[in-house]
Amino acid sequence: MNTPALPPPGARERILRAAHDLFYRDGIRATGIDRVIAESGVAKLSFYRHYPSKNDLVLAFLEHRHARWMAWFEGALARHGGTPQALVPALKEWFANDGFRGCAFINSVGELGGAVPGVKEITRRHKADMAKAITRLLPHDPASASAYRQRRLLATDLATAVDGAIIRAQYDGNPKAALASLRRILRSLTQSA
Amino acid sequence: MNTPALPPPGARERILRAAHDLFYRDGIRATGIDRVIAESGVAKLSFYRHYPSKNDLVLAFLEHRHARWMAWFEGALARHGGTPQALVPALKEWFANDGFRGCAFINSVGELGGAVPGVKEITRRHKADMAKAITRLLPHDPASASAYRQRRLLATDLATAVDGAIIRAQYDGNPKAALASLRRILRSLTQSA
DNA sequence: GTGATTGTAGACAGGTCTGTCTACTTTGTA
DNA sequence: TACAAAGTAGACAGACCTGTCTACAATCAC
Protein backbone atom coordinates (compact mmCIF):
# COMPACT_ATOMS: atom_id res chain seq x y z
CA MET A 1 0.00 0.00 0.00
CA ASN A 2 2.48 2.65 1.15
CA THR A 3 5.69 2.21 -0.79
CA PRO A 4 8.25 4.75 0.47
CA ALA A 5 10.49 4.52 -2.58
CA LEU A 6 9.16 4.12 -6.13
CA PRO A 7 9.67 0.59 -7.32
CA PRO A 8 8.15 -0.24 -10.70
CA PRO A 9 4.50 0.65 -10.23
CA GLY A 10 3.30 -2.84 -9.30
CA ALA A 11 0.60 -4.86 -10.98
CA ARG A 12 -2.35 -3.41 -9.09
CA GLU A 13 -1.39 0.14 -9.92
CA ARG A 14 -0.72 -0.61 -13.58
CA ILE A 15 -4.07 -2.33 -13.94
CA LEU A 16 -5.86 0.63 -12.40
CA ARG A 17 -4.12 3.12 -14.67
CA ALA A 18 -4.83 1.13 -17.81
CA ALA A 19 -8.45 0.64 -16.77
CA HIS A 20 -8.82 4.34 -16.07
CA ASP A 21 -7.60 5.35 -19.49
CA LEU A 22 -9.55 2.71 -21.38
CA PHE A 23 -12.80 3.01 -19.43
CA TYR A 24 -12.80 6.79 -19.70
CA ARG A 25 -11.87 6.85 -23.36
CA ASP A 26 -13.90 3.99 -24.80
CA GLY A 27 -16.54 3.33 -22.18
CA ILE A 28 -16.84 0.49 -19.70
CA ARG A 29 -18.90 -2.03 -21.62
CA ALA A 30 -16.82 -1.44 -24.73
CA THR A 31 -13.64 -2.32 -22.87
CA GLY A 32 -12.94 -6.02 -22.33
CA ILE A 33 -10.86 -7.38 -19.49
CA ASP A 34 -8.39 -8.81 -21.98
CA ARG A 35 -7.77 -5.32 -23.25
CA VAL A 36 -7.02 -4.00 -19.78
CA ILE A 37 -4.70 -6.94 -19.18
CA ALA A 38 -2.82 -6.43 -22.42
CA GLU A 39 -2.52 -2.68 -21.86
CA SER A 40 -1.23 -3.04 -18.31
CA GLY A 41 1.23 -5.81 -19.21
CA VAL A 42 0.00 -8.08 -16.45
CA ALA A 43 -0.92 -11.74 -16.37
CA LYS A 44 -4.54 -12.73 -16.29
CA LEU A 45 -4.16 -14.50 -12.99
CA SER A 46 -2.59 -11.41 -11.43
CA PHE A 47 -5.51 -9.39 -12.62
CA TYR A 48 -8.08 -11.66 -11.05
CA ARG A 49 -6.06 -11.82 -7.86
CA HIS A 50 -6.44 -8.05 -7.42
CA TYR A 51 -9.90 -7.61 -8.88
CA PRO A 52 -12.04 -10.72 -8.54
CA SER A 53 -14.52 -9.43 -11.11
CA LYS A 54 -14.89 -6.68 -13.63
CA ASN A 55 -17.40 -4.95 -11.40
CA ASP A 56 -14.76 -4.64 -8.70
CA LEU A 57 -12.48 -2.99 -11.20
CA VAL A 58 -15.22 -0.63 -12.30
CA LEU A 59 -15.77 0.55 -8.74
CA ALA A 60 -12.02 0.90 -8.17
CA PHE A 61 -11.82 2.92 -11.38
CA LEU A 62 -14.49 5.31 -10.16
CA GLU A 63 -12.85 5.74 -6.76
CA HIS A 64 -9.54 6.41 -8.46
CA ARG A 65 -11.13 8.85 -10.87
CA HIS A 66 -12.85 10.64 -8.00
CA ALA A 67 -9.59 11.22 -6.11
CA ARG A 68 -7.75 12.28 -9.24
CA TRP A 69 -10.45 14.60 -10.55
CA MET A 70 -11.12 16.28 -7.21
CA ALA A 71 -7.42 16.97 -6.73
CA TRP A 72 -7.26 18.56 -10.15
CA PHE A 73 -10.51 20.49 -9.63
CA GLU A 74 -9.55 22.03 -6.30
CA GLY A 75 -6.11 22.89 -7.59
CA ALA A 76 -7.49 24.53 -10.71
CA LEU A 77 -10.04 26.56 -8.74
CA ALA A 78 -7.30 27.80 -6.41
CA ARG A 79 -5.01 28.62 -9.33
CA HIS A 80 -7.74 30.71 -10.94
CA GLY A 81 -8.38 32.83 -7.89
CA GLY A 82 -10.58 30.76 -5.61
CA THR A 83 -13.69 32.78 -6.39
CA PRO A 84 -16.92 31.50 -7.98
CA GLN A 85 -15.70 33.04 -11.24
CA ALA A 86 -12.79 30.58 -11.18
CA LEU A 87 -15.21 27.85 -12.26
CA VAL A 88 -15.19 29.00 -15.87
CA PRO A 89 -11.44 29.03 -16.57
CA ALA A 90 -10.99 25.84 -14.55
CA LEU A 91 -13.55 23.96 -16.64
CA LYS A 92 -12.13 25.55 -19.76
CA GLU A 93 -8.83 23.83 -19.02
CA TRP A 94 -10.54 20.48 -18.71
CA PHE A 95 -12.72 20.85 -21.79
CA ALA A 96 -9.69 21.81 -23.87
CA ASN A 97 -7.95 18.53 -23.06
CA ASP A 98 -7.62 16.27 -26.06
CA GLY A 99 -8.93 13.31 -24.14
CA PHE A 100 -11.96 15.11 -22.75
CA ARG A 101 -14.95 12.82 -22.93
CA GLY A 102 -17.30 14.34 -20.36
CA CYS A 103 -17.78 13.35 -16.75
CA ALA A 104 -16.78 9.74 -16.06
CA PHE A 105 -19.51 9.45 -13.44
CA ILE A 106 -22.31 10.79 -15.59
CA ASN A 107 -21.14 8.51 -18.39
CA SER A 108 -21.03 5.48 -16.11
CA VAL A 109 -24.48 6.09 -14.68
CA GLY A 110 -25.83 6.52 -18.18
CA GLU A 111 -24.13 3.40 -19.45
CA LEU A 112 -24.58 1.05 -16.52
CA GLY A 113 -27.59 2.53 -14.77
CA GLY A 114 -28.58 0.16 -12.06
CA ALA A 115 -26.75 -2.81 -13.59
CA VAL A 116 -23.60 -2.43 -11.51
CA PRO A 117 -24.41 -1.88 -7.84
CA GLY A 118 -22.58 1.07 -6.32
CA VAL A 119 -22.16 3.23 -9.38
CA LYS A 120 -24.97 5.63 -8.51
CA GLU A 121 -23.79 5.84 -4.91
CA ILE A 122 -20.25 6.75 -5.88
CA THR A 123 -21.62 9.27 -8.34
CA ARG A 124 -23.75 10.93 -5.68
CA ARG A 125 -20.72 11.11 -3.42
CA HIS A 126 -18.60 12.54 -6.20
CA LYS A 127 -21.14 15.20 -7.05
CA ALA A 128 -21.64 16.05 -3.38
CA ASP A 129 -17.90 16.58 -3.03
CA MET A 130 -17.86 18.70 -6.15
CA ALA A 131 -20.64 20.84 -4.68
CA LYS A 132 -18.66 21.12 -1.45
CA ALA A 133 -15.64 22.41 -3.34
CA ILE A 134 -17.89 24.96 -5.01
CA THR A 135 -19.34 25.96 -1.64
CA ARG A 136 -15.87 26.87 -0.45
CA LEU A 137 -15.62 29.44 -3.23
CA LEU A 138 -18.58 31.36 -1.89
CA PRO A 139 -18.22 34.12 0.71
CA HIS A 140 -20.04 33.41 3.94
CA ASP A 141 -21.28 35.10 7.06
CA PRO A 142 -20.73 32.65 9.93
CA ALA A 143 -23.23 34.49 12.13
CA SER A 144 -26.29 33.90 10.00
CA ALA A 145 -27.87 30.47 9.77
CA SER A 146 -30.08 31.50 6.87
CA ALA A 147 -27.05 32.75 4.95
CA TYR A 148 -25.42 29.39 5.56
CA ARG A 149 -28.37 27.68 3.96
CA GLN A 150 -28.43 30.15 1.07
CA ARG A 151 -24.79 29.41 0.46
CA ARG A 152 -25.43 25.68 0.19
CA LEU A 153 -28.35 26.18 -2.15
CA LEU A 154 -26.33 28.49 -4.36
CA ALA A 155 -23.54 25.92 -4.53
CA THR A 156 -26.08 23.26 -5.51
CA ASP A 157 -27.38 25.47 -8.30
CA LEU A 158 -23.89 26.17 -9.54
CA ALA A 159 -23.20 22.45 -9.50
CA THR A 160 -26.32 21.85 -11.58
CA ALA A 161 -25.16 24.44 -14.09
CA VAL A 162 -21.68 22.90 -14.15
CA ASP A 163 -23.17 19.48 -14.93
CA GLY A 164 -25.14 21.04 -17.76
CA ALA A 165 -22.04 22.73 -19.10
CA ILE A 166 -20.04 19.50 -18.98
CA ILE A 167 -22.71 17.73 -21.01
CA ARG A 168 -22.89 20.50 -23.57
CA ALA A 169 -19.13 20.60 -23.96
CA GLN A 170 -19.20 16.85 -24.50
CA TYR A 171 -21.66 16.70 -27.38
CA ASP A 172 -20.88 20.07 -28.92
CA GLY A 173 -17.83 20.20 -31.08
CA ASN A 174 -16.25 23.03 -29.14
CA PRO A 175 -16.77 24.07 -25.54
CA LYS A 176 -17.16 27.80 -26.13
CA ALA A 177 -20.94 27.89 -26.05
CA ALA A 178 -21.05 25.75 -22.92
CA LEU A 179 -18.56 27.98 -21.13
CA ALA A 180 -20.32 31.17 -22.19
CA SER A 181 -23.60 29.76 -20.94
CA LEU A 182 -22.06 28.79 -17.63
CA ARG A 183 -20.53 32.25 -17.29
CA ARG A 184 -23.90 33.93 -17.75
CA ILE A 185 -25.68 31.61 -15.32
CA LEU A 186 -22.93 32.18 -12.80
CA ARG A 187 -23.19 35.93 -13.13
CA SER A 188 -26.93 35.82 -12.75
CA LEU A 189 -26.88 33.58 -9.71
CA THR A 190 -24.09 35.38 -7.87
CA GLN A 191 -25.25 38.93 -8.52
CA SER A 192 -28.79 38.26 -7.39
CA ALA A 193 -27.61 36.65 -4.17
CA MET B 1 -44.89 3.26 -44.93
CA ASN B 2 -48.30 4.99 -44.86
CA THR B 3 -50.91 2.49 -43.75
CA PRO B 4 -54.29 4.25 -43.70
CA ALA B 5 -55.98 1.71 -41.47
CA LEU B 6 -54.23 0.06 -38.51
CA PRO B 7 -53.22 -3.47 -39.41
CA PRO B 8 -50.98 -5.24 -36.89
CA PRO B 9 -48.11 -2.79 -36.48
CA GLY B 10 -45.78 -4.37 -39.03
CA ALA B 11 -42.32 -5.71 -38.45
CA ARG B 12 -40.43 -2.46 -38.86
CA GLU B 13 -42.56 -0.66 -36.33
CA ARG B 14 -42.45 -3.49 -33.80
CA ILE B 15 -38.66 -3.67 -34.04
CA LEU B 16 -38.37 0.07 -33.49
CA ARG B 17 -40.65 -0.01 -30.46
CA ALA B 18 -38.84 -2.91 -28.86
CA ALA B 19 -35.48 -1.31 -29.54
CA HIS B 20 -36.67 1.95 -28.05
CA ASP B 21 -37.77 0.35 -24.82
CA LEU B 22 -34.71 -1.87 -24.45
CA PHE B 23 -32.11 0.67 -25.50
CA TYR B 24 -33.53 3.31 -23.23
CA ARG B 25 -33.97 1.02 -20.27
CA ASP B 26 -30.83 -1.13 -20.40
CA GLY B 27 -28.48 0.84 -22.61
CA ILE B 28 -27.41 0.21 -26.17
CA ARG B 29 -24.31 -1.91 -25.72
CA ALA B 30 -26.06 -3.98 -23.07
CA THR B 31 -28.86 -4.85 -25.48
CA GLY B 32 -28.16 -7.56 -28.04
CA ILE B 33 -29.85 -7.80 -31.38
CA ASP B 34 -31.26 -11.19 -30.41
CA ARG B 35 -33.03 -9.53 -27.51
CA VAL B 36 -34.64 -6.96 -29.75
CA ILE B 37 -35.68 -9.71 -32.13
CA ALA B 38 -37.21 -11.83 -29.40
CA GLU B 39 -39.04 -8.88 -27.86
CA SER B 40 -40.47 -7.68 -31.16
CA GLY B 41 -41.56 -11.19 -32.21
CA VAL B 42 -39.89 -10.90 -35.58
CA ALA B 43 -37.63 -13.23 -37.55
CA LYS B 44 -33.96 -12.50 -37.73
CA LEU B 45 -34.03 -12.16 -41.47
CA SER B 46 -36.84 -9.62 -41.27
CA PHE B 47 -34.81 -7.64 -38.83
CA TYR B 48 -31.78 -7.47 -41.06
CA ARG B 49 -33.96 -6.64 -44.04
CA HIS B 50 -35.10 -3.45 -42.30
CA TYR B 51 -31.93 -2.58 -40.42
CA PRO B 52 -28.79 -3.86 -42.13
CA SER B 53 -26.72 -3.35 -39.00
CA LYS B 54 -27.16 -2.55 -35.36
CA ASN B 55 -25.79 0.93 -35.94
CA ASP B 56 -28.65 1.62 -38.35
CA LEU B 57 -31.08 0.58 -35.66
CA VAL B 58 -29.35 2.81 -33.12
CA LEU B 59 -29.74 5.84 -35.35
CA ALA B 60 -33.35 4.95 -36.09
CA PHE B 61 -33.94 4.62 -32.36
CA LEU B 62 -32.56 8.10 -31.73
CA GLU B 63 -34.65 9.64 -34.51
CA HIS B 64 -37.73 7.93 -33.13
CA ARG B 65 -36.92 9.05 -29.63
CA HIS B 66 -36.40 12.60 -30.80
CA ALA B 67 -39.81 12.79 -32.44
CA ARG B 68 -41.53 11.16 -29.50
CA TRP B 69 -39.81 13.20 -26.81
CA MET B 70 -40.25 16.53 -28.56
CA ALA B 71 -43.95 15.88 -29.05
CA TRP B 72 -44.30 15.12 -25.37
CA PHE B 73 -42.16 18.10 -24.34
CA GLU B 74 -44.02 20.68 -26.38
CA GLY B 75 -47.36 19.28 -25.26
CA ALA B 76 -46.34 19.34 -21.60
CA LEU B 77 -45.03 22.90 -21.81
CA ALA B 78 -48.28 24.04 -23.40
CA ARG B 79 -50.37 22.19 -20.80
CA HIS B 80 -48.48 23.90 -18.01
CA GLY B 81 -49.06 27.39 -19.30
CA GLY B 82 -46.54 27.93 -22.05
CA THR B 83 -44.38 30.22 -19.91
CA PRO B 84 -40.74 29.65 -18.91
CA GLN B 85 -42.06 28.54 -15.52
CA ALA B 86 -43.77 25.62 -17.26
CA LEU B 87 -40.38 23.94 -17.58
CA VAL B 88 -40.40 22.81 -13.97
CA PRO B 89 -43.76 21.00 -13.82
CA ALA B 90 -43.18 19.58 -17.29
CA LEU B 91 -39.87 18.02 -16.29
CA LYS B 92 -41.39 16.95 -13.01
CA GLU B 93 -43.83 14.80 -14.97
CA TRP B 94 -41.01 13.13 -16.85
CA PHE B 95 -38.80 12.57 -13.82
CA ALA B 96 -41.69 10.98 -11.93
CA ASN B 97 -42.10 8.30 -14.61
CA ASP B 98 -41.15 4.87 -13.40
CA GLY B 99 -39.05 4.21 -16.43
CA PHE B 100 -37.16 7.50 -16.24
CA ARG B 101 -33.49 6.86 -16.99
CA GLY B 102 -32.25 10.29 -18.01
CA CYS B 103 -31.87 11.72 -21.48
CA ALA B 104 -31.49 9.03 -24.15
CA PHE B 105 -29.20 11.31 -26.15
CA ILE B 106 -26.89 12.20 -23.29
CA ASN B 107 -26.73 8.54 -22.36
CA SER B 108 -25.95 7.48 -25.92
CA VAL B 109 -23.21 10.05 -26.36
CA GLY B 110 -21.70 8.99 -23.06
CA GLU B 111 -21.91 5.31 -23.91
CA LEU B 112 -20.93 5.35 -27.56
CA GLY B 113 -18.98 8.58 -27.83
CA GLY B 114 -17.49 8.67 -31.26
CA ALA B 115 -17.80 4.91 -31.84
CA VAL B 116 -21.09 5.14 -33.74
CA PRO B 117 -21.02 7.87 -36.37
CA GLY B 118 -24.00 10.17 -36.26
CA VAL B 119 -24.84 9.94 -32.58
CA LYS B 120 -23.32 13.28 -31.65
CA GLU B 121 -24.89 14.95 -34.66
CA ILE B 122 -28.38 13.73 -33.80
CA THR B 123 -27.81 14.79 -30.21
CA ARG B 124 -26.83 18.30 -31.25
CA ARG B 125 -29.95 18.49 -33.39
CA HIS B 126 -32.09 17.21 -30.55
CA LYS B 127 -30.71 19.72 -28.08
CA ALA B 128 -31.01 22.55 -30.59
CA ASP B 129 -34.68 21.67 -31.05
CA MET B 130 -35.15 21.52 -27.31
CA ALA B 131 -33.63 25.00 -27.02
CA LYS B 132 -35.94 26.20 -29.79
CA ALA B 133 -38.96 24.96 -27.88
CA ILE B 134 -37.69 26.80 -24.82
CA THR B 135 -37.15 29.95 -26.89
CA ARG B 136 -40.82 29.91 -27.79
CA LEU B 137 -41.71 30.22 -24.12
CA LEU B 138 -39.90 33.51 -23.83
CA PRO B 139 -41.60 36.86 -24.50
CA HIS B 140 -40.06 38.79 -27.34
CA ASP B 141 -39.94 42.22 -28.86
CA PRO B 142 -39.87 41.80 -32.66
CA ALA B 143 -38.55 45.32 -33.17
CA SER B 144 -35.25 44.91 -31.36
CA ALA B 145 -32.47 42.85 -32.85
CA SER B 146 -30.47 42.84 -29.62
CA ALA B 147 -33.49 41.57 -27.72
CA TYR B 148 -33.78 38.78 -30.27
CA ARG B 149 -30.23 37.77 -29.50
CA GLN B 150 -30.78 38.04 -25.77
CA ARG B 151 -33.75 35.75 -26.09
CA ARG B 152 -31.69 33.11 -27.82
CA LEU B 153 -28.93 33.30 -25.25
CA LEU B 154 -31.41 33.03 -22.42
CA ALA B 155 -32.96 29.96 -24.01
CA THR B 156 -29.48 28.42 -24.35
CA ASP B 157 -28.81 29.03 -20.68
CA LEU B 158 -32.13 27.54 -19.69
CA ALA B 159 -31.32 24.52 -21.84
CA THR B 160 -27.99 24.13 -20.06
CA ALA B 161 -29.75 24.25 -16.72
CA VAL B 162 -32.32 21.74 -17.94
CA ASP B 163 -29.55 19.34 -18.97
CA GLY B 164 -27.99 19.71 -15.54
CA ALA B 165 -31.32 19.04 -13.87
CA ILE B 166 -31.93 15.92 -16.00
CA ILE B 167 -28.54 14.53 -14.96
CA ARG B 168 -29.13 15.25 -11.31
CA ALA B 169 -32.56 13.65 -11.38
CA GLN B 170 -30.99 10.60 -12.98
CA TYR B 171 -28.33 9.87 -10.39
CA ASP B 172 -30.14 11.23 -7.36
CA GLY B 173 -32.71 8.95 -5.88
CA ASN B 174 -35.49 11.51 -6.13
CA PRO B 175 -35.87 14.47 -8.48
CA LYS B 176 -36.90 17.07 -5.88
CA ALA B 177 -33.47 18.64 -5.44
CA ALA B 178 -32.92 18.80 -9.20
CA LEU B 179 -36.28 20.47 -9.75
CA ALA B 180 -35.77 22.95 -6.90
CA SER B 181 -32.39 23.86 -8.32
CA LEU B 182 -33.82 24.35 -11.78
CA ARG B 183 -36.60 26.51 -10.36
CA ARG B 184 -34.10 28.80 -8.65
CA ILE B 185 -31.87 29.09 -11.72
CA LEU B 186 -34.92 29.84 -13.82
CA ARG B 187 -36.07 32.54 -11.45
CA SER B 188 -32.66 34.13 -11.38
CA LEU B 189 -32.22 34.09 -15.14
CA THR B 190 -35.69 35.37 -16.00
CA GLN B 191 -35.90 38.09 -13.37
CA SER B 192 -32.57 39.61 -14.28
CA ALA B 193 -33.38 39.67 -17.99
C1' DG C 1 16.97 -23.02 3.02
C1' DT C 2 11.89 -23.06 3.12
C1' DG C 3 7.60 -21.55 2.36
C1' DA C 4 4.36 -17.86 1.33
C1' DT C 5 3.35 -14.27 -1.72
C1' DT C 6 3.23 -12.25 -6.00
C1' DG C 7 4.38 -12.41 -10.40
C1' DT C 8 4.45 -14.41 -15.72
C1' DA C 9 2.40 -16.99 -19.93
C1' DG C 10 -1.28 -18.85 -21.94
C1' DA C 11 -4.84 -22.72 -22.69
C1' DC C 12 -9.60 -23.47 -21.89
C1' DA C 13 -14.78 -23.46 -20.95
C1' DG C 14 -19.12 -21.64 -21.66
C1' DG C 15 -21.66 -17.90 -22.93
C1' DT C 16 -23.08 -13.89 -25.92
C1' DC C 17 -22.32 -10.90 -29.72
C1' DT C 18 -23.26 -9.53 -34.80
C1' DG C 19 -24.38 -10.95 -39.07
C1' DT C 20 -25.32 -14.71 -42.91
C1' DC C 21 -27.74 -18.38 -44.72
C1' DT C 22 -31.29 -22.11 -45.93
C1' DA C 23 -35.97 -23.43 -46.33
C1' DC C 24 -40.67 -22.52 -46.03
C1' DT C 25 -45.17 -19.42 -45.68
C1' DT C 26 -48.23 -15.57 -46.22
C1' DT C 27 -50.01 -11.61 -48.65
C1' DG C 28 -51.02 -8.38 -52.15
C1' DT C 29 -51.19 -7.26 -56.91
C1' DA C 30 -50.98 -7.56 -61.92
C1' DT D 1 -53.07 -17.81 -61.62
C1' DA D 2 -48.53 -16.33 -61.16
C1' DC D 3 -45.06 -13.64 -59.22
C1' DA D 4 -42.79 -10.58 -56.12
C1' DA D 5 -42.46 -8.81 -51.59
C1' DA D 6 -42.32 -9.50 -46.92
C1' DG D 7 -42.94 -12.61 -43.43
C1' DT D 8 -41.46 -17.00 -40.09
C1' DA D 9 -38.11 -20.38 -37.81
C1' DG D 10 -33.81 -21.44 -36.71
C1' DA D 11 -28.95 -23.31 -37.77
C1' DC D 12 -24.42 -21.56 -38.29
C1' DA D 13 -19.81 -18.95 -38.40
C1' DG D 14 -16.47 -16.36 -36.24
C1' DA D 15 -15.40 -13.10 -32.97
C1' DC D 16 -15.24 -11.52 -28.31
C1' DC D 17 -16.76 -11.79 -23.47
C1' DT D 18 -15.79 -13.14 -18.38
C1' DG D 19 -13.70 -16.05 -15.45
C1' DT D 20 -10.90 -20.58 -14.20
C1' DC D 21 -7.05 -23.38 -14.42
C1' DT D 22 -2.23 -25.40 -15.02
C1' DA D 23 2.62 -24.73 -14.79
C1' DC D 24 6.49 -22.15 -13.71
C1' DA D 25 9.65 -17.98 -11.92
C1' DA D 26 11.11 -14.29 -8.78
C1' DT D 27 11.21 -12.17 -4.26
C1' DC D 28 11.20 -11.80 0.60
C1' DA D 29 10.58 -13.03 5.63
C1' DC D 30 11.71 -16.22 8.91
Size of interface A-B (CB pairs under 8 A): 133
| For residue B38, pLDDT beyond 60 | yes
Q: How far B8 CA lies from chain A's nearest CA (Å)?
A: 33
Question: For position B173, what pLDDT does the model report?
Answer: 82
Task: Centre a 10 Å sphere on the Cβ of residue A186 and count the other Cβ atoms it contains.
Answer: 19
d(C-alpha B174, C-alpha B172), whole Å: 5
DSSP B2: -
The C-alpha angle with vertex A74 and arms to A134 and B161, in degrees rounded to 5, equals 40
Top-confidence residue, B114 or A142? B114
Encode pLDDT of A57-89 as tens digits. 999 999 999 999 999 999 999 999 999 999 999
pLDDT band at A95 (very low <50, low <70, confident <90, very high): very high
Over 80: is that where the pLDDT of B164 sits? yes
Residue-by-residue DSSP string for B3-55: -SS--S--HHHHHHHHHHHHHHHH-STTS-HHHHHHHHT--HHHHHHH-SSHH
Calpha distance A63→A169 (Å, rounded):
24
Q: Are A112 and B171 in contact (CB under 8 A)?
A: no
Confidence at residue B51, expressed as pLDDT on a 0 to 100 scale: 95
Q: Which of B109, B163, B171 is closest, CB to CB, to A120? A: B171
What mean pLDDT, rounded, does chain A reach? 93
Asked whether A131 and A120 are in contact (CB, 8 A), the reply is: no
In this prediction, residues A18-22 reach a mean pLDDT of: 97
pTM of the model: 0.93
User: What average pLDDT score do residues A38-53 get?
Assistant: 94
- The domain segmentation of chain A, as residue ranges, is 1-52, 65-192
- pLDDT for A1 equals 36
So what's the pLDDT on residue A173? 82
Going by pLDDT thresholds of 50, 70 and 90, the confidence category of residue B8 is low
* Domain A1-52 of CATH type 1.10.10.60: yes
Residue range B148-170: mean pLDDT, rounded: 97
pLDDT computed for residue B163 by the predictor? 98
> Chain B: residue nearest A102 by CA?
B110
Average pLDDT over residues B114-121: 94
Q: How far is CA B144 from the centre of its chain?
A: 32
Which of A29, A120, A153 is facing B29, going by the closest CB pair? A29
Query: What's the mean pLDDT in B91-118?
Result: 96
Cα A161 to Cα A184: distance, rounded to the nearest angstrom: 10
Mutation target for B interface from A31, A151, A163: give the one with most B CBs within 10 A: A163
A26 touches strand D (CB under 7 A): no
Q: What is the mean pLDDT of residues B63-77?
A: 98
Minimum-distance CB partner of A168 among B153, B160, B185: B160
B5 has pLDDT over 50? no
